[in-house]
Structure 1
Amino acid sequence: MKRALTLLSCTAALMLASAPLLAGGSIAAGKTKATTCFACHGVDGNAVDPQYPRLAGQYDEYLQQALHEYKDGRRNNPIMKGMAATLSNQDIEDIAAYFSSLPTKLDTLKGHIQGD
């Protein structure tokens, strides 16, 4: 009995500790929240204008980090700072989930690096 209670306690502790790791954004909610992003980055996340990054297929965590950095000023881009300023943490998770779920059309960096 004592062993079963110990095992149950350990399982509960692991579940509670891993909950933030399992939490994530909603792709469907992200698509709705990302509508203002589409003008520059495209509905499919594959911007055709080389001055705007392609977001499709990027790592979810990278997209979240970038949005947080625009929001708090660690990245200095006036347009993105304004766009990210009103986003909640959940908004950022959802938008990152949406763009990271999309297939990328970027197979090479040729023509996508300044100076190319």
Structure 2
Amino acid sequence: MTRGFSLIAIGALFALTATPSFAAGDPARGKTKVATCVACHGQDGNAVDPQYPRLAGQYSDYLAQALHEYKDGRRDNAIMKGFAATLSDQDIDDISAYFGSLPTKLQGLEHHIQGD
């Protein structure tokens, strides 16, 4: 009985430490933080100009990663780097949750990537 309990306790501890510890973003707070984003990406995250990505419906983890990469320079875009530089980690989580919660209008990648 003691060995079974120990294995369960070890398993639970492993599960807790193996789970990524991402701060959960709040879409309601995110909506209040997107004033600069909407100029290019649209209030609903569905940019109409094909030079700007549509953010609505994207995975929030992907959006957060992209913003962190703009912020630390791993993605090279002067405009996005400037915007991302002002964001805290919580801001990034909230903004990503907001855009991720919106319905997308993307049907495919036609006219939304360069070279098509």
User: For this structure pair, what is the TM-score category when the shorter chain's length is used for normalisation?
Assistant: 0.7 to 0.9
- Root-mean-square deviation (Å): 2.3
Distance across 2 between alignment mates of 1:114 and 1:20: 34
2:105 equivalent in structure 1: 105
Structure 1 counterpart of 2:88? 88
Structure 1 residue 111: Cα displacement: 1.5
Superposition misfits of 4+ residues, deviation over 2 angstroms: 9-23
**Which has a greater percent of helix?**
1
Number of equivalent positions: 116
Deviations 1:76-101 (A, max 9, x none): 10100000001111000000000000
| CA distance in 2: counterparts of 1:14 and 1:23, whole angstroms | 19
- Give the drift of 1:23: 3.6
Structure 2, unmatched stretches of 5+, are: none
Q: TM-score normalised to the size of structure 2?
A: 0.83
Percent of aligned positions that are identical:
68
Uncovered stretches (5+) of structure 1, i.e. residues with no partner: none
Correspondence for 1:49: 49
Q: Deviations over 1:40-77 (max 9, x none)?
A: 00010000001100000111111011000000011110
